[in-house]
Structure 1
Amino acid sequence: MNTVFIDAGRLRTELVLERLRPVADGIGGYTETWEEFATLWGRIEPVSDTARYFGAQPLEEITHRITVRFRDDIASGMRLRKGGRHFMILTVHDPDESGRYSLCRVREEGR
């Protein structure tokens, strides 16, 4: 398998990796709380944007590709945060199976 060239010097965006921690609400349900798990350096690249309509309300979706150094504890369902921006991780994979980098396909939330 060919090695994918990724310039490590371009990983200059500081990101916070967060995981969901459900907290019991005392009546059988829970509230969602995100806890900071790690701080990473990465590169954010926009991939696509779409707008669909649900009735008269537009539902916009913006996806990105975020490259970070390889970690085996990143999984879909977690999210990355940059300041006030939140990126829900949809998929994670090692582009050349070398254990050097992880590519995360993410959906930006709250925009």
Structure 2
Amino acid sequence: MRSTFFDPGQMTARLNLEVPVETPDGQGGATTVFEERASAWALIEPVASAVAEEAGSEIFTRTHRIWLRWRTDVSIGMRLRKGARIFRIGATEDPDETRRYLICHCEEKLP
């Protein structure tokens, strides 16, 4: 496997890693809230944008490739936050299988 060259100095965005926590609502369901677990420096690369109609209004969605240093505690369903921006993690990968970096394929909904 060929090693991926990546300049870690490009990781200039400070992101918070958040995990979903479900709390029973007393009626058989659950309320999901997100709790911050860690902070990390990252590189955010926009990949694509799309527009969809939802409930009579346009919803803009942008996908991103977010590079982090390797972590074992990141999985699908978590999210990354930068201020008011929320990036939902849909998939993760180790680009060169050396456990140096982790790429999170994320989706961001825009108002």
Q: Gapped runs of 5+ residues in structure 1?
A: none
Q: Percent identity?
A: 41
SS at match of 1:104: strand
TM-score normalised by structure 2 residue count: 0.92
TM-align CA RMSD: 1.4
Deviation per residue, 1:8-55 (Å, 9 max, x gap): 111121100001001111121111110111111101111100113357
Shift of 1:72: 1.2
Shift of 1:110: 4.7
Residue type at the aligned position of 1:108? E
**Aligned position for 1:97:** 97
Runs of 4+ in 1 over 2 A off after TM superposition: 52-60
Q: Gapped runs of 5+ residues in structure 2?
A: none
CA shift in 2, pair 1:28/1:73, >3 Å: same
- Size of the alignment, in residue pairs? 111
**Aligned position for 1:86:** 86
